[in-house]
Amino acid sequence: MATEAHGAEDKGLELVFHPMDQFMVKPLFGDGGVGTFTITNVTLWMAITVLAVIALMVLGTSGRNTVPSRIQSISELAYGFIRKMVEDVAGKDALPYFPYIMTLFIFIVFSNFLGLLPGAFTATSHIAVTAIMAVAVFLAVTVLGFVKNGFGFLSLFWISSAPLPLRPILALIEVISYFVRPVSHSIRLAGNMMAGHAVIKVFAAFAPMVLIGWVGVLVTPLSIIAITAIYALEVLVAFIQAYVFTILTCVYLKDALHPNH
Amino acid sequence: MATETHDTAHQAASACVDSHGGAVGLPQVCGEWMGNQIFWLVVTLVVIFFVLSRIALPRIAAVLAERQGTITNDLAAAEDLKVKAVEAEDAYNKALADARVEAQNIVNATKAEIKGQIDDAIAKADADISAKAAEGEKKIAEIRAGALESVKVVAKDTAKEIVAAMGGKADAKSVTAAITARMKG
């Protein structure tokens, strides 16, 4: 194994595993460091996300057709999907917050799918990005809960349907789980996106094995099949994770508006 | 190492990038990249939020409401048209029934009229026929009478001739009387 690798290196060929390089933040212009306002690949792909959102939601609906065009029916589908989700999960009085939830969903779903393009940067695979969104949801929901219900919001932690001796213990568990929410909320999305992309990259690194040794005859087709399969899975995950993030936001919003279960 | 200067340049640029330009550890937890990501994320979310809440969502809501209105109106119009169609069908059926009745009346009236005409014609024809028959009978009677007279004359003449031929002398009076008596007989 070692000699084989060594021999391959002599010919200028070796397996290159850099599955994490795709997540690097790089300045778009120049070779300097990354400051807060530097225009980076993050900027580029978020801008592409914004343009894609405008293309679908604004240009796609510019016809205002009673009988919708294809693009318009997709944007109407997205609109109806999230609106119904907000209404079903969080109730009718949550509808004023629908634009915020729609913003989150549209951003995540576009980032996820654009990230699946080869060579793309996936913004939602970064914990910094998802954590900001999760913390924003957490803070907004908590503030909203207290504004709407006053201290009655704390009844969320005091489960009146449980036997009295159990309630303090349950309250402790509820409080802990409440504060863990932003962590699980953000890591779920970033972790899913990162894992899938990294696995694809690892399989991609195995793909040129056929150039190195006879083992490659077996490994190369397998890794290509694996890339295809995982890519298909990632397409599914890209949507499901956006859906999960959004529906959890709706659930948290429901807790804030109706804390009495 | 040839890459030494490169190496130091990178190290100066970032602690998250190794000497080959690859990632050191998880790029996701590289602290010095987070500020950049957060800044651009906030910019992006704000832009998307304003695009959606100011332009896209009200427009889609309006389109959906308009479509709902159109569908409701169309359904109502369809209901109206259906009612009208039923009314029209009723009117049609009524008109049809009326027309049938009227046609029946006309048929009956015409039948009666024609029957009357036929009866008249038959009566007239009967009258004509009986008149013609009477006339014919009269004519036959006349012809018969004429024939009897002729027979009488011929018989008289023939009898006279026969009597004369037999050498007798025919008395016109007695011959006539004899013939008349014979013909009566």
Chain B residues touching residue A103 (CB < 8 angstroms):
45, 48-49, 52-53
Tokens representing A216 are: 């490659």
How confident is the model over A107-116, as a mean pLDDT? 95
Question: Does the beta carbon of B38 lie under 8 angstroms from any beta carbon of chain A?
Answer: yes
- Quick check: A187 pLDDT over 60? yes
DSSP string computed for B103-129: HHHHHHHHHHHHHHHHHHHHHHHHHHH
CA distance A193 to chain B (A): 12
Give the mean pLDDT of chain A.
89
Q: What pLDDT score does B32 carry?
A: 82
The interface residues of chain B toward chain A in range 16-35, judged by CB-CB distance below 8 A, are 16-17, 22-23, 25-30, 32-35
Chain B residues touching residue A43 (CB < 8 angstroms):
40
The answer to whether the CB of A53 falls within 8 A of the CB of B51 is yes
- Quick check: A27 pLDDT over 80? yes
pLDDT tens, residue by residue, A189-216: 999 999 999 999 999 988 888 888 888 8
Tokens representing A168 are: 């303090």
Chain B residues touching residue A79 (CB < 8 angstroms):
57, 60-61, 64
Among A212-226, A228-242, B164-178, the range scoring the smallest mean pLDDT is B164-178
Q: What is the ipTM of this complex?
A: 0.88
The interface residues of chain B toward chain A in range 120-139, judged by CB-CB distance below 8 A, are none
pLDDT tens over chain B, length 185 residues: 343 444 444 444 567 888 777 887 788 888 888 899 999 999 999 999 999 999 999 999 999 999 999 999 999 999 999 999 999 999 999 999 999 999 999 999 999 999 999 999 999 999 999 999 999 999 999 998 888 888 888 888 888 888 888 877 767 787 778 777 877 76
Domain ranges in chain B are 30-145
Asked if the Cβ–Cβ distance from B23 to A75 is below 8 Å, we say: no
Residue A54, classified by CB atoms within 10 Å of its CB into exposed (0-12), middle (13-18) or buried (19+), is middle
Looking at the partner chain, which of B27, B53, B66 has a beta carbon nearest the beta carbon of A24?
B27
Question: Strands (DSSP E) along chain B, which ranges?
Answer: none
Q: What pLDDT score does B168 carry?
A: 75
Higher pLDDT, A88 or B168: A88
> What is the per-residue burial (b if ≥16 Cβ within 10 Å, else e) of A87-109?
eebbeeebeebbbbbbbbbbbbb
Q: What pLDDT score does A237 carry?
A: 96
- Residue that has been written with the tokens 């996820």 in this structure: A112
